[in-house]
Structure 1
Amino acid sequence: MSVVFRLPDLGEGLTESEIVSWKVAEGDAVALNQVIAEVETAKAVVDLPSPYAGVVRRLHASEGETLEVGAPLVEYDVEGESDAPAEPEPVAPASGEEPSAPEEPPPSAPPGGPGLEPDESDAVDRTEEEPAEEEPAEESVAVLVGSVKVAGGRKPKRAARTFAQTPFVREQRQPARAFPPVRRLAKERGIDLAAVVPTGEGGVVTRADLDRAVAAPSARSSHRERVSGLRRQTAKAMTAALAVPHAACFLQVDVTETLRLARDLAAEGSPSPTLLSLASRAVILAAARTPGVNATFHADAEEIEFHDRINLGIAVATERGLVVASVDDADRLDATQLAGAIAARAAEARDGSIGVAALTSSTLTISNVGVFGVDGGIPLLTPGQSAIVALGAVRRLPWEHEGAVALRDVMTITVSFDHRVIDGREASAFVRDIGRVLERPGLALARG
């Protein structure tokens, strides 16, 4: 029997998925739980196992195509009964009735109408016309369940196509007019004089015309690429983020002491914390003093959900695009454990082995844009979150230190926030708390 496997929901409320690649073809025999396709959804590529054992009868999508959850995906030929037949069955006749035989098409009526003889002049005129088309017989048309008979009607006669012939006219190129020195210069520069717009008297090409032709930018062709996969998901997420009333604040921080701490701990052996993991610890400690940065605004219920734990999202640049990988329960990890967890999540995101849950569970995000060599930026919020922290590149700058000017390691911290959840005072306090820990990391031991 035939059975249709429909695209399942591969995550928490996901509505669509893209077929990355098929692992089977039509006519292949597959076993239960055999991987039949790679499917990308919510920024993750996952293997899709077969829920049936049988023969692949039809693949309902091609590679690169996006399907809605619940859409037909694969049709199988399996042993046993099918819950959903692939093809509709014809409606059986009622009890006691004989199946109706196909009706013969009615003969065409004479031109003069029923019971009337056409006159001779009409018959002569019609001999020069095309013979009248016969009425088609009634045909059975398949519907959602069974079939119905539809009476045939006279189909409209399609007009004959005509194509207008356009004579080919060869473009006549007028010879360019230029004095011998200009012609010689054009030849040296590889310039086609006929393509230069002349400005000299009488349409003569001048030396200035050649200079402008060289300075003019050449026309470049463009191309388009279909937005799909991760790029498509990112576009949707960023479009949704623009619906949130964003605001941002900045702070330059002297991180010299934090860098020295990282070097001292690295000298003791591996594993050791990194600047990113130490900054993550500072963000976690500061979030405890400003709970609104670890919250979600539910517009439909007009409620703010404050999360009891911090699932720290780390923005990771991959070959397929940007993803946010979550380190769950990050508030329970120290800086060394955070360094290991962040590295593991980043590796999973880059090789595509990360699960959907790790891409959808973060409650607060850090974007380390400093690795790209920029001082900072205004990041857009991850949908469902109320704050995101951007860490800029560390610069060696003249800085006031203990009453004098000295070269110090300085980093810019940016916090973008949902103004429906927290206001400027709270956001400023949050970024100051982050900076205070990074400027004097010993405070985290003494005060927390």
Structure 2
Amino acid sequence: MNDTPGWASPGSAPSDGQNPGVSGPAEPADRPGRQPADQPGQPGPSPQGPGVKWSKEQPPPSQWSAPTGPTGPGQAPPPPPGPGWGAPPPGGPGSGYGGPGGPGGHGAWGSGWGGPPPAAKPGVIPLRPLGVGEILDGAVSTMRTHWRTVLGISLTVAVLTEIVVVLFQGLVLDNTSADALNDPSATLDELSRAMGDALLDSGVVFLITLIGTVVATALLTTVTSRAVLGKSVTIGEAWRDARPQVLKLFGLICLLMLITAGIVTAGALPGILVTVAGGGGAGVALTVLGIIGSGVVALWLMIRFSLSSPALMLEKQGIVKAMSRSTKLVRGSWWRVFGIQLLATVIANVIASIIVIPFTFLAAALSGDGVSGFLNGAGDIGWTFLIVSGIGSVIGSMITFPITAGVTVLLYIDQRIRREALDLELARAAGVQGYGSDAPGTTPGS
């Protein structure tokens, strides 16, 4: 078991200062049948090897015990303290000799090797490879331990973003596009114009939301990385640390979206061309298959690049270098990263939906046409609806931002611990004493 740093079974390697070819402890001076080499006229020990120093007849193992003091010539050795090697030391459990209450909790002497002690945990996660539950718990623990900073960042970003969105929807957008799309007698030109306006409006809202998400992710990445070391950070400190990388992070996310859109468009384009050329059902089927196939390729690439954001923020890398780092860290662990990211996204969205949906129905009920008009798509989206539903969106964003950003950062740290032994650097940064390749607790986890 020498291939695991810091943990080797007894007897698996020579002790310090002892050559592998030399035998173990020297035999006692009063050993029966031994010929002392310093007596005149008596031959010394045979040079054939260390094995001939011992008699063929050995006393029972239970009669051997650790010496408690020096024994001179003519003095009998002290009586054995117990049944032999492996007897527990005096004091019993909890006496400081490794019992259940002793240091480290390794178990009493003679009870067997029970494994290494837990890894160091200066912050929200233990410094070793993490399991799925530990990653999710680390994200929640960051919210709970540093709630002032985390909720302060999430609340500030969510409120500012939602104010811009509400003002844009209330002052700039109008309902002519929705009315045209809901009108069965609308002409093709009216429908095309309405669809174009709706896509433009949705694009602007998405861009505003994206900017808020980028800022929140940048700030929460810094907070989570400090929480791993057991250190707190204020909102101002997080902003000063993240500010130089915010524009790069925005460019990274835009580039990833363009890659996704380009792949899906390229997959659907052949079917669209066949449909326009009069292919009918064959063109539609080809379009659907192209979208599905290109969607799978886009998903595969997005998971490979999913750790680009923390790599860019924490390593102060450029956009291309961060994408390359993410690809290297995810290689060989695609399904694991995909599963954890999917689980975190589902949990965050379910929690956010539990909060947002009631606010949406409340906003519809307070509007002029009521809930029935909202469900039928004929309701008038006024300021009351926008403000009340915006409050629900703010509360939902306060939960989704920390969970998604925290899980991504902890996944990045976990992959670096598994591949690059980042736990040693984190331990030194956290001030953990005696943590290294020879320290206990460095055995990989799950």
* TM category, shorter: under 0.3
> Which structure is richer in relative contact order (CA contacts within 8 A, separation 6 or more)?
2
Larger radius of gyration: 1
The structure carrying a bigger helix percent of its residues is: 2
TM-score by length of 2: 0.20
